[in-house]
Amino acid sequence: MLSRRGFLNTAALAGTVVVGGRVHAANIPEAPTMEKATMQPPLHPSSGPDYNPVVTLNGWTLPWRMNGDWKEFHLVAEPVEREFAEGMKAHLWGYNGQSPGPTIECVEGDKIRIFVTNRLPEPTTVHWHGVILPSGMDGVGGLSQPHIPVGKTFVYEFEMKYSGTFMYHPHSDEMVQMAMGMMGMIVVHPRDRSFRPVDRDFVFIMSTYDIDPGTYLPKVSEMTNFNMWTFNSRVFPGIDPMIVRLGDRVRVRIGNLTMTNHPIHLHGHKFAVTCTDGGWVPESAQYPETTTDVPVGAVRVFDFIADNPGDWAFHCHKSHHTMNAMGHNVRNMIGVSKKDLAKAVGKLAPDAMVMGTTGMAMGEMEMPMPDNTLPMMTGSGQFGPIEMGGMFTVMKIREGLARDDYRDPGPYKHPQGTVAYEVEAPAGTAPRQINEKAKAKPAPAQEMKGMNMKGMKGMKGM
């Protein structure tokens, strides 16, 4: 739900632009805020050039106002609470009530004025990632502008010279502020509506967090060991499905401000990468893909025709990134005798359950968990457990949807004879087991050379 904050009475300097005095301060636009974590309807322009607006997964577009020939926005940097999925919330930093912040939408050639109010406990800035603008508006604290002090408001003014897809994030205590969730997307539509038009346009940004079960704050100094891999600070099954009308030309815009790359894969279709944060890819340079790798600090945009109806998985293809709250030190127990293991574990923890001896599929098991965390694999579909998490959602392609209808149509009704099915066949042989009594043969001399002998202790009988 959109609410309105009161007018602000503070103003300051940003780059070479001065907002000072009572008259200017009174003219600062109100700052809308968002409380819901579900995808909001597209925000169609009420004035100026027309365009087909984007929808943000589990997010919204920041409203704006016209002031003469300037399009004015107001971002508020502040602590927020974000629900990753039902059952888990995180205490983050973001903009206008959410992390990530709202999507900023405008048109190529627009003159943009963005007010930024700092309600964080430390100074901040905003960098407009990929946008070509004057140096003093680039948002690098100390280099191109003063840091925005606590409680103050700065204003950025520039022209959106090029259409495309960009990001915004701080360049002030960047490690902490980005790790706390301060980021958002920018979509600049072509002024010429005939330039590569689409029917449905989705946008989201990827971020990662390391949050111990039972806690609420991310570890801001973590670089590699994350356990929450998110689309717009949501994890499956909390990520919105992408609802598409059969036959639509669809665009998906993806930003990456995590610590690693993400190969994003769409089932059932092929697509072409059409844009990056550096600009539009010429048609002569495009080629068919089903997976596109999104590097760190980059944007990838792909277009395709939704010509294959169904419920199609959409996810990062790094398997650990489609899990929640995963312990990275879990031992591989496949093939270990459950009986012997249960006896040993039971002496130490009578209520413990032996798991992993036949794999990690959890199915419909319900297990007690610490407060404020999520199952590693979860979610369900019409045929049973989906056993996913993290960076996973579903693209639902259906006939007959209205233009702005993004309501979940429910499970796909498969035509008769188009679902994989079981057939009667001779009973298969039992899974091959490792002979526990067999002794391992010593490694050849050339393989032994250079091994760390301290790690050889306890290897007897393996």
Strand order in the sheet with 164-169: 104-107, 184-189, 164-169, 127-129
Count of domains for the chain: 1
CA 268 – CA 309 distance, rounded (Å): 9
- 365 part of a folded domain: no
- 86 part of a folded domain: yes
- 237 part of a folded domain: yes
- 343 part of a folded domain: no
- 267 part of a folded domain: yes
Range of the domain at 135: 2-305
What pTM, to 2 d.p., does this model score? 0.83
- 261 part of a folded domain: yes
- 397 part of a folded domain: no
- 36 part of a folded domain: yes
Query: Would you write out the chain's pLDDT as a tens digit for each of its 462 residues?
Result: 444 443 333 333 344 344 444 335 558 999 999 989 999 999 999 988 999 999 999 999 999 999 999 999 999 999 999 999 999 999 999 999 999 999 999 999 999 999 999 999 999 999 999 999 999 999 999 999 999 999 999 999 999 999 999 999 999 999 999 999 999 999 999 999 999 999 999 999 999 999 999 999 999 999 888 999 999 999 999 999 999 999 999 999 999 999 999 999 999 999 999 999 999 999 999 999 999 999 999 999 999 999 999 999 999 999 999 988 755 566 666 666 666 666 766 676 666 555 555 555 555 555 677 889 888 888 889 999 999 999 999 999 999 999 999 999 999 999 999 999 999 987 766 666 655 554 445 545 444 444 343 333 333 333
Q: For residue 234, give the CATH number of its domain.
A: 2.60.40.420
